Structure 1
Amino acid sequence: MQTILYARVSTTDQTIAHQRIQAEAAGFEVDEVVADEGVSGLTTSLNDRPQGRRLFDMLRRGDTLVVRWVDRLGRNYADVCDTIRELMRRGVIVRTVVNGLTFDGATKDPMQQAVRDALIGFMAATAQAQAEASKEAQRAGIDHAKGREDAYRGRKPSFTRAQFNAVREALSMGEGVSDIATVTGLTRQTIYRIRDNPIDSEAAIARWS
């Protein structure tokens, strides 16, 4: 039995190495890392990714698949649900670094199955909702400034996209605002603003990009 970390990175602000560091810091002993780079989780299913197909070929009954969160598997509700259920049917245990979730097909109790399946659905829906909100924010920012050099873009954000992504990732890991401010060099007020209004914050970045 082996533990495989699957990492997916879709932008230059994310790294495979960081996802491995997070997994190992959470206590996972990773035997191998399989990763897809520059792939959208919203439009490309795991089976359609080069390394995603390899992952399915590698996994055997009793193996553990580790992902940072379910959005690494995909950001489409139906696709994520189908992927996790297929892995469980194969006897693979799926575990996440964020929130420490475990999806295991071993249970035969119908109530436990119902709770597990409801959680899968909720996580998959959340992943798609976050992806669509982010995409909409970027589109709004681009549409606002497109073809209008004199367009009012509002106040220039005090953070870069890399800092925005770093803050969002740290918040999802449960890190404190003060610690995030120290690491990113941003003020606590900026961290709170990103936390409380992530869509508006990302739209501001898009308007000024």
Structure 2
Amino acid sequence: MPQTILYARVSTADQNIDHQTAQAEAAGFRLDAVVSDHGVSGLNVPLCERPEGRRLADMLRSGDTLVVRWVDRLGRNYEDVTDTIRAFMRRGVIVRTVINGMTFDGATRDPVQAAVRDALIAFMAATAQAQAEATKEAQRAGIAGAKARGDRYLGKKPSYDREGLTIVQAMLAQGANVSEIARTAGLTRQTVRRIRDEPDGAEAALARWGM
């Protein structure tokens, strides 16, 4: 019998996957299993090299559905993400995202439909990598700026964590509106607007607090 499996990933060991699981269930997915990797970089560690990523690949069978919050949970490296999704589709696995409700499968034989699907996968994978690289650069800039100023005052602790900021960044990139993002991320609309309007400041705030 086909299974629906959620794959969740957090990049630091102190984060948890509860939010990703709750989001998937709230979106209507009935999960048969949850597979998760903790403290693993999506930019530097391919899915096939993650402990639970390998287990996920072994579990999935033709007809199964793989659910991820967004493609950045599979990874933040363009080649790794596109290769991974296409490999799963060739095996008959359907890949679905919680954010924006995207569905990718290899069932279509129409070349135009396949081309549109592959272009969308490529765009989302490229966006995931671009966001990761921009995040790292903003973190470096924030830390460097604080050191240069000799800052000791941390300021108010952010109401969002790394997980929340990633959700906001991903949904902003997909064109979601502020209210929708706030509901999904569990943040106020004011916070979402601040992240949208001052992305470097949002990163710097997390960096100052070591989050």
**TM-score, normalised by the number of residues in structure 1:** 0.84
CA contact under 8 A between 2:168 and 2:181: conserved in structure 1?
A: no
Partner of 1:37: 38
CA RMSD in angstroms comes to: 2.7
Alignment equivalent of 2:179, drawn from 171, 176, 185: 176
* Matched residue SS, 1:99: helix
Structure 1 residues 28 and 154 mapped into 2: Cα distance closer, same or farther (>3 Å)?
A: same
CA contact under 8 A between 2:5 and 2:67: conserved in structure 1?
A: yes
Partner of 1:203: 204
CA contact under 8 A between 2:178 and 2:193: conserved in structure 1?
A: no
Structure 1 residues 174 and 192 mapped into 2: Cα distance closer, same or farther (>3 Å)?
A: closer
Partner of 1:166: 164
How far apart are the structure 2 equivalents of 1:46 and 1:168? Answer: 19
Partner of 2:61: 60
CA contact under 8 A between 1:36 and 1:51: conserved in structure 2?
A: yes
Deviations, residues 149-199 of structure 1 (Å, cap 9, x unaligned)? xx255995544274574365368375628966xx65x6x544422122223
Letter in 1 for 2:86: R
CA contact under 8 A between 1:8 and 1:72: conserved in structure 2?
A: yes
Percent of residue pairs bearing the same amino acid type: 63
**TM-score, normalised by the number of residues in structure 2:** 0.84
How many residue pairs are counted as aligned between the two chains?
A: 202
How far apart are the structure 2 equivalents of 1:76 and 1:179? Answer: 27
Letter in 1 for 2:22: I
Which 10-residue stretch deviates more, 159-168 or 199-208? Answer: 159-168
How far apart are the structure 1 equivalents of 2:101 and 2:76? Answer: 19
Where do residues 1-209 of structure 1 align in structure 2 (5 Å cutoff)?
1-11=2-12, 14-146=15-147, 151=149, 153=151, 157-160=155-158, 162-163=160-161, 165-166=163-164, 169=167, 172=171, 176=179, 184=187, 189-207=190-208, 209=210
Letter in 2 for 1:79: D
Structure 1 residues 205 and 157 mapped into 2: Cα distance closer, same or farther (>3 Å)?
A: farther
Letter in 2 for 1:109: D
Which runs of at least 4 in structure 1 moved beyond 4 Å after TM superposition?
152-157, 177-180
CA contact under 8 A between 2:15 and 2:38: conserved in structure 1?
A: no
Which sections of structure 2, spanning at least 5 residues, go unmatched?
A: none
Structure 1 residues 23 and 154 mapped into 2: Cα distance closer, same or farther (>3 Å)?
A: same
CA contact under 8 A between 1:164 and 1:194: conserved in structure 2?
A: no
Letter in 1 for 2:179: G
Which sections of structure 1, spanning at least 5 residues, go unmatched?
A: none
Structure 1 residues 24 and 11 mapped into 2: Cα distance closer, same or farther (>3 Å)?
A: same
